[in-house]
A and B are shown apart, each in its own frame.
Chain A
């Protein structure tokens, strides 16, 4: 059923039969019916082409790029040598990781923004990124050798989420408290990271600082596999929950009376979002603002209500790939972490968004 077609208090069937907002539906037998909007499909198609285009650019540009004419042959039967090195070590894993991470962040952001009814929501708001940084600092520098850094980041993120869960006193079913507790947990994690930074030598501190801005440099196929497993397992869950989430968006009372079970839905959605967020953090370190901007822009492009999960995934991938392409091909010698670029662009975007809303007078 469609969120915008049904007014609160009207049974869903009645709402659907009011023909004004009737959508085309894909049906597979009797167990799957997927209403879709033409505009969303077109936007999705364009974004998919964008992903493809950026992938080609990533592989072909620059002094080490593989010429476009050699690319099909190189992918089909990689011959040892320069091309194989670029494809399998230098840029291939990085590219595949970027697509997966971007998609994961996009979906996590979409879920969070819907469930907290807060357009600025993202897993970072409840301290996932900060927790991961603290984990990386702890296992990378303070207690080295126990866990590899990405695993440390994963542990840190999970501990932070556990604290948020305990801190709210109501688990993940209360978005308002979740954000507040997240602020507190973030503050502790950030203080811990800053503390560690002052207790190690400068080189170690710089390495940590680069890692916690989120970077795609030096990824291997292991990272790529990890994030893609998470995406393939969790995104279908997100899609399944998306329909229920549309119900919850209409208000808890309506959702509950229609069988939407708002508390349970909210908890499940947050868990899926956290799963995707932690997977992304383990693959690349905390990359900020992709989770925040991707769903927003996707929603604007599609002009659709609801979470827009697939579009957010595609747009997240596009943002991260474009940012990474810029970082890789930047004229400045030193490669900056990609998270820096996304943070900078994200901040400017947020400012633009606010100015626009203020002109319209909606805030």
Chain B
């Protein structure tokens, strides 16, 4: 397990965070799952109710089941696309966070580590600067391939004859991120159009996003979720270290490829739809792990339910505190997520 403790960002292994307490029983966690679903449902309702114009919850219900043409109905209708986007993006980010943390054995792993965000951003600025495409809903068709290509590049750079290890993946991600960030800066500083579009996209937001985006990114997200659903067992094996996992019969290489693909599809889809959003992929799995332990069979469904709840809650906060204007959800998650990370750091009493 030597390599699990040498991940450069932390020097902590995920087992240290989870192994201290006995694993919670399924009998206790199953009701928890129902509770999480309940929380999500409540947040979904709040998301269509709360904003500059507040619609009382009973009225929301009426507007949803029997929409009329009144002002309240219109407001509720207008908030449905962003709520659905938040639901999809939050689930995708949280699940891809769980997968990346499992693959890199780094409890502070984040899909951004694999270059998803910079890949998408680089493709977008390139499209706008050189080909005149990439504004509005066209952006998805740049962001998705860009993100996927960046992940492939990270995997290619992170693999050698000896195979891929978590440390290599993280470092390769840092390299690709550094190079692409410089490229993005160079393009945005020399092409005003690209910069103007980029500065609004890079601040991830659910507001003013095209409802078309839902349909455009849904296939990728569904594929990603389906792949993720196959992975819990393999990820559990991977957590034991490559050698143990291999000797237990797990196919380590295949898990890494499939996991990378699932994480990339999910995170790329979410990023293409709403822009880069920090900390959902990092913080949600971490919070979930604090009560489920390291078993991916529980981690994945809990994260899929609580990820969107957290993202939409942040979105609601952004709508309320700057009312009648809005604070983009990307800003809110950064400022809410950073303290969560600090809390996590304090909680882990690993080796220094």
B341 touches A183 (CB 8 A): yes
Check A233 for interface membership: any CB of B closer than 8 A. no
Given contacts A177-B345, A359-B160, contact A343 B278 (CB under 8 A): no
Which chain B positions have C-beta within 8 A of A347? Answer: 175, 178-179, 181-182
Cα-based distance from A334 to B157 in the complex (angstroms): 33
* Cβ contacts under 8 Å, A175 to chain B: 352
User: In the complex, what residues of A have CB within 8 A of residue B165's CB?
Assistant: 363
In Å, the complex CA distance between A125 and B179 comes to 16
Are the CB atoms of B11 and A194 closer together than 8 Å?
Answer: no
**A197: CB under 8 A from chain B?**
yes
Of the listed stretches A19-27, A47-55, A87-95, A201-209, name the one at the interface; the rest are far from the partner chain.
A201-209
Check A363–B190 contact: CB distance below 8 A.
no
By the criterion CB–CB under 8 Å, are B189 and A336 in contact?
yes
Residues in chain A near residue B294, CB distance under 8 A: none
Stretch of B22-30, B76-84, B230-238, B328-336 that contacts chain A: B328-336
Whether A209 lies near B331 (C-beta < 8 A) is no
Q: Which residues of B contact A337 (CB under 8 A)?
A: 189
B108 contacts A by Cβ under 8 Å: yes
- Expressed in whole angstroms, the minimum distance between the Cβ of B123 and any Cβ of chain A is 17
Output the least CB separation between B59 and chain A (Å): 33
Indicate whether A184 sits within 8 Å of B11 (C-beta atoms), given known contacts A175-B352, A336-B186, A344-B183. Answer: no
Interface residues in A68-100 by Cβ distance below 8 A to B read none
Neighbour of A343 across the interface among B11, B108, B182, B188, CB < 8 A = B182
Q: Contacts A351-B179, A354-B175 hold; do A184 and B352 have CB atoms under 8 A apart?
A: no
Q: Which of A180, A213, A361 contacts B345 (CB 8 A)?
A: A180
Contact with B along A173-203 (1 / 0, CB 8 A): 0111101110111011011101101100010
Chain B residues with CB under 8 A of A181: 341-342, 345
Assuming the contacts A194-B330, A359-B160, asked whether A206 and B189 have C-beta atoms less than 8 A apart, the reply is: yes
Contact present for B335 and A191 (CB under 8 Å)? yes
Q: Are A350 and B175 in contact, with the CB atoms below 8 A?
A: yes
B185 touches A340 (CB 8 A): yes
How far, in angstroms, from A175 to B10 measured CA to CA in the complex? 10
Task: Give the number of residues in A that approach B within 8 Å (Cβ atoms).
Answer: 48
Complex: A336 Cα to B190 Cα, angstroms: 8
- B1-22, CB < 8 A from A: 8-12
* Chain B residues positioned under 8 Å from A205 (CB to CB): 195, 199
Q: Does B245 contact A (CB under 8 A)?
A: no
B203 at the interface (CB under 8 A from A): yes
Q: CB within 8 A of A192: which of B10, B168, B331?
A: B331
Residues on B with beta carbons closer than 8 Å to the beta carbon of A361 = 162
B162, B167, B339, B345: which has the most chain A beta carbons within 10 Å?
B345
Q: How far is the CB of B298 from chain A (nearest CB, A)?
A: 25
B225 at the binding interface (Cβ < 8 Å): no
Q: Is A358 an interface residue (CB 8 A)?
A: yes
Chain B hits for A139, CB < 8 A: none
Minimum C-beta distance from A139 to chain B (A):
19
Residue of A191, A195, A209 touching B188 (CB-CB under 8 A)? A209
Cross-chain contact B179 with A348 (CB below 8 angstroms): yes
Nearest CB in chain A to that of B180: its residue: A347
Q: With an 8 A cutoff between CB atoms, is A169 at the interface?
A: yes
From A210, which residue of chain B is reached at the shortest CB distance? B189
Q: How far is the CA of A210 from the CA of B10 in the complex (A)?
A: 32
**A183-B341, A191-B330 known; A289 vs B157 contact (CB < 8 Å):** no
**Chain B residue at minimum C-beta to C-beta distance from A358:** B160
A118 in contact (CB, < 8 A) = yes
Q: Which residues of the other chain, A, contact B220 by a CB distance below 8 angstroms?
A: none
B interface footprint on A148-180 (CB within 8 Å = 1, 0 otherwise): 000000000000000000011100001111011
What separation, in Å, do the CA atoms of A92 and B115 have in the docked complex?
Answer: 40
Q: Which of A120, A194, A344, A348 has the most CB of B within 10 A?
A: A194
Interface residues in A238-295 (C-beta closer than 8 Å to B): 289
Say how far A255's CB is from chain B's closest CB, in angstroms: 14
A184 in contact with B338 given A205-B195, A210-B189, A343-B178 (CB within 8 Å): yes
Q: At the interface, yes or no: B227 with Cβ under 8 Å from chain A?
A: no
Interface residues of A in 307-359 (CB under 8 A from B): 334, 336-337, 340, 343-344, 346-348, 350-351, 354-355, 358-359
Complex CA–CA separation, A250 to B275 (angstroms): 45
Q: How far is the CB of A198 from chain B (nearest CB, A)?
A: 5
Nearest residue (CB) in A for B337 is A187
Indicate if the CB atoms of A188 and B189 lie closer than 8 Å. no
A249 CB → nearest B CB, Å: 15
Residue of A nearest to B172 (CB): A354
| A residues in contact with B350, CB < 8 Å | 176
Q: Are A179 and B9 in contact (CB under 8 A)?
A: yes
Residues of A within 8 A of B10 (CB): 176, 180
Expressed in whole angstroms, the minimum distance between the Cβ of A74 and any Cβ of chain B is 33
Say if the beta carbon of B129 comes within 8 Å of chain A. no
Check B341 against A195 for contact (C-beta < 8 Å): no
**B278 A191 Cβ-Cβ under 8 A:** yes
A268 to chain B, nearest CB (A): 18
Besides A180-B341, A188-B334, A355-B157, 12 new A-B residue pairs in contact (Cβ under 8 A), listed by A number: A168-B345, A180-B345, A184-B337, A184-B338, A187-B278, A191-B335, A198-B328, A205-B199, A343-B182, A344-B179, A347-B178, A363-B167
